[in-house]
Structure 1
Amino acid sequence: MTYWDPVPTRRAAEGGPLPDPDGGSWVPSDQYGIWNLRPDRWAELDWRNVPGPFYGSGTDNCWMGRLIAPDNVLYEDDRGAEFVYRQPRNPAETRAVMGAAAQDPYVGYACDGDDHWTPELVRDWWRERARVREWAVALDRKWSVSRRGDEREAAGGARAYVAHLDGDLADYLRGYLFWLQERRPARRGEPLPSL
């Protein structure tokens, strides 16, 4: 699997338009501070974020992210904060994550993960994935029978996260490890680092 870097798309799309929760689009103004790269965001990193450039850290609890980026964003059940369970795989998903970030009044998303993740940290995260999987399975059980429609919808995200953990995430992370070490995607046939 070749790692796809979403950062160039993020840079190109910063001026919008970005998707909104109603299925439309809008152009964010500078007041939203979507790409707040403050160092304190990394210090508050939610442990459920999948390694990669995008992450949620100290986000709000308005549950807007899945309305825009259901293939990438999920809510934690303690406070309802948002985190990135799957890194964007294409320009559309990148813009969707950007749209989710733009809705966060706490400015809790960032896209400077490449500056913080190291091969050692990625491997540590992978070794602890059973904790993430256990959490996601429990969340699905809890929310899939909820009376609240938004919780039942989010349970689908928990199932998608488990499928990602059990499926293609290892290949993605091996490609991301190569990216972190070489700052380029692996060429066809190049060996990828082990997890």
Structure 2
Amino acid sequence: MCRQFNESQPEGENTRMNGQNPVHVPYWSPLATARSIVADWGSSGDLSVDTDAKWAEKNWLNVPGPFYTGETDTGMNGPVHAPRMILCGEDGMEFVYRHPRSPDDVRTLLEAAWGEPMGGYAWDGDERWTPDSVRSWWADRSRLRTWIADEISRCSESRFPHDQATLPALREFSQSLDGRLPQYLRGYIFWLTEGREPAPSELLPPL
């Protein structure tokens, strides 16, 4: 299913249920939901195949988290099917710029991964990222800001509809650098360190 990027639609939230009331948490792990979905599908596709090679080829733009891409095709399947989570990088290959925040997000990302012809997606990022490597990725954010700004400029001037359609996601990615992303990364470092999701009131490690 192709999805329209709706800038007026609120982003999904990382939530945990407290009785009948949803509680915002800094990091929610999508993997249990992902495993349940692929169990229903009867296959994990290529997510668990050749992950050493995928990690070695990992696109530097991938935001730290459980999902990431190595080498993918350049057909823009991901941004079409999951425009609030996937973008294409400087070489036209896909990367994950926002990790799932809800079960619906997980299903959407998995569907995009299943549709990627080269099988370039993986879901073992938790076994590969470390607190230090997450901090190193964040420390290089000036390079990321430059890339996003250049892409926004290029797509704004482009006559191609697919470039224009990418602009909302690029702007969201840009805004997240000074918004939700630092808190997400601190929550993810907590997850990597403690092996559990942080409670809403818990002190998070620094970036």
Length-normalised TM-score, structure 2: 0.83
Greater alpha carbon shift after TM alignment, 143-152 vs 109-118: 143-152
Residues paired across the two proteins, number: 183
Structural mapping, 1:102-121, within 5 Å: 102-121=114-133
Distance 1:188 1:138 in 2: 36
Distance 2:89 2:203 in 1: 35
Which residue does the alignment assign to 2:49?
36
The code of the aligned residue for 1:128 comes to D
From 74, 99, 122, give the equivalent of 1:61. 74
Question: Is residue 171 of structure 1 aligned with residue 195 of structure 2?
Answer: no
Question: Is residue 49 of structure 1 aligned with residue 32 of structure 2?
Answer: no
Q: Conserved in 1, the CA contact under 8 Å of 2:38 and 2:44?
A: no
The code of the aligned residue for 1:51 comes to P
Q: 1:37 to 1:115 in 2, by over 3 A?
A: farther
Q: Which SS does the other structure have where 2:74 is aligned?
A: coil
Q: 1:150 to 1:120 in 2, by over 3 A?
A: same
Shift in Å, 1:130: 1.1
Which residue does the alignment assign to 1:20?
none
Distance 1:166 1:144 in 2: 22
Which residue does the alignment assign to 1:190?
202
Q: Conserved in 2, the CA contact under 8 Å of 1:37 and 1:111?
A: no
Percent sequence identity over matched residues?
Answer: 41
Shift in Å, 1:187: 2.0
Q: Conserved in 2, the CA contact under 8 Å of 1:46 and 1:56?
A: yes
Distance 1:127 1:179 in 2: 19
Distance 2:153 2:50 in 1: 35
Shift in Å, 1:112: 0.5
Q: 1:120 to 1:184 in 2, by over 3 A?
A: same
Q: Conserved in 2, the CA contact under 8 Å of 1:140 and 1:156?
A: no
Q: Conserved in 2, the CA contact under 8 Å of 1:58 and 1:81?
A: yes
Which residue does the alignment assign to 1:2?
26
Question: Is residue 145 of structure 1 aligned with residue 145 of structure 2?
Answer: no
Distance 1:64 1:185 in 2: 31
Distance 2:179 2:201 in 1: 21
The code of the aligned residue for 2:103 comes to P
User: Stretches of 4+ moved more than 3 A in 1?
Assistant: 29-32
CA deviation map 1:129-156 (0-9, x unaligned): 1111110111011012211101111122
From 37, 49, 54, give the equivalent of 1:13. 37
Structural mapping, 1:156-167, within 5 Å: 156-167=168-179
Aligned CA RMSD, in angstroms, stands at 1.7
Q: Conserved in 2, the CA contact under 8 Å of 1:61 and 1:81?
A: yes
The code of the aligned residue for 2:56 comes to A
From 122, 125, 146, give the equivalent of 1:134. 146
Q: Conserved in 2, the CA contact under 8 Å of 1:44 and 1:58?
A: yes
Could you list the runs of 5+ residues in structure 2 that have no partner in the other structure?
A: 1-24
Could you list the runs of 5+ residues in structure 1 that have no partner in the other structure?
A: 17-26
